[in-house]
Amino acid sequence: FLRVVCEHCRAERLVAFSCKKRGFCPSCGARRMAESARHLVDEVFGPRPVRQWVLSFPYPLRFLFASKPEAIGPVLGIVHRVIAGWLADQAGVPRDTAQCGVVTLIQRFGSALNLNIHFHMLWLDGVYEDTTERPQRKPRLHHTRAPTSAQLTELANTIAHRVCRHLSRRGWLEGEDESVFLSDSAGSDDGMDGLRM
Q: Supply the pTM of this predicted model.
A: 0.76
Domain range list for the chain: 24-195
pLDDT of res. 195:
40
User: Residue 31: phi, psi to the nearest 5?
Assistant: -65, -50
SS3 161: helix
Distances in Å between the alpha carbon of 5 and those of 2, 13, 17, 24, 37? 10, 7, 16, 30, 21
- The rounded mean pLDDT for the chain is 85
Taking the chain (197 residues) in consecutive chunks of 10 residues, what is each chunk's mean pLDDT? 84 74 74 86 90 94 93 97 97 92 93 90 92 78 94 96 93 69 54 41
